[in-house]
Amino acid sequence: MQMIRDAAELPLLETVEAVIEALGGRMAVAELTGRLPQQVTNWRIAGTFAPTTFLVMTTALAATGKRAAPRLWRMDEPAALAG
């Protein structure tokens, strides 16, 4: 539980655009996720990421000292962890 509390203290990113920029931009996210750059562009347009990228992207965000709202991956967000 300590890890969850620690993560809750990290700055929360609430948009797909903010996550992409925090991870180094379109090309960096494409490389990180093993997807084509066009797919990253599609995520920007849709406003959500593919759920299968949740773990790799949130781990990379944590390494930069940030976190993102799980709803950006179409994941349910526990009320205790929101905001």
Structure tokens at 3: 């890890």
The pTM for the full model equals: 0.83
Structure tokens at 6: 């620690």
pLDDT of residue 83: 53
pLDDT of residue 31: 98
User: DSSP assignment of 17-67, as one string?
Assistant: HHHHHHTTSHHHHHHHHT--HHHHHHHHHHT---GGGHHHHHHHHHHTT-E
pLDDT along the chain (83 residues), means of 10: 58 96 98 98 98 97 94 84 53
